[in-house]
A and B are shown apart, each in its own frame.
Chain A
């Protein structure tokens, strides 16, 4: 209750003050003349009385604030330098947070994002995030738990007559745009009409970036006909820029799913060979568990009707689809790693800020002396400096917020998110910015504040400590950047284990997914082998460097080893130039044989011969050969393990994915030849992917990631160098007269320089030691990303040390040289 009264008094402050004044005046009047003299200063008495209200601290804080602003305005250079440093550090932090915010925390810009779920098929030992087309239709027609179903299918299609370039195409159900709240930048989007096939030509919607880059944002494209996958389609409209759809990825053209067959040149509707991603929107108020329960009987019925196409014990699972991405347990090390990087940059910026503030505070000695003689307590001065620190941090956070819009966008670009994902300033980013400002102000502002309050003159130790901290943080960052760079270098210089030059993977969009179309794969291979210029051709079930991957557990009971699986013909190894290290390839007719990669052989049977060993408990398969590691399904994972099954003999279970063709001539020359020979006029067109292009695309992504880490390291280096330079300049300034005397007395310049620089040697050395330790610790976190590199790679650590020492030396010598260059008579006068 009492606190309420206090608040009430605060709100009515003016009135209360007036009443009190009146009251005391009346009291004064009623007193006898001789007592009046002893009344005392009315104002002082009033203020004393008002203290009982308990709001004095508020008044003081407000005064501190006003004073702080005045002081900061009077030294613009200092203010700008600190705000810039803080903005840099906070900006980096916020940029990283923007990535987290945009990808994980913010819902996608679609309607009712929180009710949308992606549906997956799960069974013991099997998992896939897609449903067969007929299954999708079945669920859509029979389920009541979800009010709306969406489906989409990503693929690459040929555009006009360009053999080399592919369009990123997305087939979507007709209700996609309307139900997700998309709008058109030009023309119109899909309506219910697009769900049926009529005699009119297929309509498509163009993606915004594609429209900008290919057609220069020309609205006249609406209504025109273009050729996609060698079929004429009509452009109905262009999608607005900000719509990303579910599971954002860059999409050039959107096509109604109902027209898929037609585009592929077939008359029947898509069968079980066509897989689509399925999403559902929950009915308002229901929850996902009950919805999934209601799908169980439907799954059972599907299994009864199509036992061969469904898995044993299959069930439907769901995950929220309203966000661009989700953090899983596996992501934690990576997030921790990047978080540490960002925090390190923040630490460097913060200690720079602390140093600057400390130096400035020391220069205001006189001011504090006057204040304390006027009665300011130590606590008051402490509060004053802290307030200034807070003001600076808030300003820095403000600028940092603006920087983060750009920085966040850059980071998203480097992880290949589509243009439509924007960075915004919302309450989350604002909250993080405010928290950072507060934390920095308290952590790095309290030391200068304490120094000012206690009127300490000896600040050198503190400044040294700060420089030491900066050096340590920067060293760690550089080591991290160095390790990252070296590991990438290793991965790409070692080679992925196969030869990607002069190899083309051929498949129809979506793969040969049913038994009948597997015959087509055979036919293709037969034809390919007969083409002059083709050296080897082989069928495989997973196209290398493609969009899909297939994995299974290749370990022993109690020890799980995740292996990438492929069913291949024996010629596959020649086509991909994967060496056979032990044993042999599959023989014709051999059913229960597997070939494994060298990494799996090492893991399961270290030091033994693996030929003849049983592959897994419960399977008759025996290892007949060991191949070199070939990371065809997970290029960036140097720990990848592969298992190969014989394609022909296991054909019933394992589908064909594509044909790998090694040619004598480069793909640019061979693809037109292949196309002419392999495609009959009425067959569905094929996709030709040179493995070299695919390889470059993948490495491009890693390169971009590296840039981010390097930038962080460079920023930290800049900040640390500034810190060191500042400290040396400060030291020089304080000892200017001493330097003058020494030089005047004939000391060689070198020894004087050594004297001054010797002082900073200690913090720098401690900092380096700390940085090395920190780097080793960080390397532990990075373990999953250090492909093929040990934690203590000499190149990275050594490189970091050298760079840091060089930068420090450079930063330090500048002020020393300037001091030595001064005329001794001048320096001696500087008192």
Chain B
């Protein structure tokens, strides 16, 4: 069953950065990709996606350029920057740390 907006706080940015690691995508494609790979569990809402993207632009983690979509429509593509790669690495490390910690508590407590 698709769970609406089950994003743990702060993970959206990390997921978008990870997705973009595979190459430039436009907004809709990013949302689609996350949805597909997570087997429809994680659905990105537009209301969350675009604020997140704008924030990442301001912070310099992604860069944007205009191009054409598969259907020939003018869309904005997002690309991971060097700073973005660094940020992704940091967030992955932190995520791993936190997940392990949660697992330990759940297993042994």
Contact = CB atoms under 8 A, between A and B. Distances in A.
Q: A44, A51, A52: which has the most chain B beta carbons within 10 Å?
A: A52
A51 B51 CA distance: 7
B27 A49 contact: no
Contacts of A22: 74, 76
Interface string A10-54: 000000000110111011011100000001100011101111111
A2 interface: yes
Interface string A734-776: 0000000000000000000000000000000000000000000
Contacts of A6: 58
Given A5-B60, A6-B58, A40 B75 contact: no
A537 to B, nearest CB: 92
A40 B51 contact: no
A1 interface: yes
A338 interface: no
Interface SS of A by simple majority: helix
A9 interface: yes
B73 A26 contact: yes
Contact of B60 (A2, A23, A24): A2
A26 B58 contact: no
B86 interface: no
B6 to A, nearest CB: 16
B47 A48 contact: yes
A26 B54 contact: no
A39 B51 contact: no
B7 interface: no
B54 A20 contact: yes
Contacts of A40: 45-47
A50 B28 CA distance: 18
Interface residues of A, number: 27
Contacts of A23: 26-27, 50, 75-76
Contact of B46 (A39, A52, A53): A39
B28 A49 contact: no
B33 to A, nearest CB: 13
B74 A45 contact: no
Nearest to A31: B28
A52 B58 contact: yes
Nearest to A45: B47
Contacts of A54: 58
A52 B54 contact: yes
Interface in B53-76: 53-55, 57-60, 69, 71, 73-76
Contacts of A9: 58
A27 B28 contact: yes
Contacts of A19: 76
B46 to A, nearest CB: 6
Contacts of A30: 28, 69, 71, 73
B46 A5 contact: no
Contacts of B53: 49
Contact of B59 (A2, A26, A45, A46): A2
A48 B26 CA distance: 19
A733 B58 CA distance: 56
Nearest to A1: B60
Interface string B11-54: 00000000000000011100100000000000001110011111
Given A5-B58, A49-B54, A54-B58, 13 more contacts: A2-B60, A5-B60, A22-B74, A23-B75, A23-B76, A24-B27, A26-B69, A30-B28, A40-B46, A48-B51, A51-B51, A52-B52, A53-B58
Interface of A: 1-2, 5-6, 9, 19-20, 22-24, 26-27, 29-31, 39-40, 44-46, 48-54
Interface of B: 26-28, 31, 45-47, 50-55, 57-60, 69, 71, 73-76
21 contacts: A5-B57, A6-B58, A19-B76, A23-B50, A23-B76, A26-B69, A27-B27, A30-B28, A30-B69, A39-B46, A45-B50, A48-B47, A48-B51, A49-B50, A49-B53, A49-B54, A51-B51, A52-B52, A52-B54, A52-B55, A52-B58
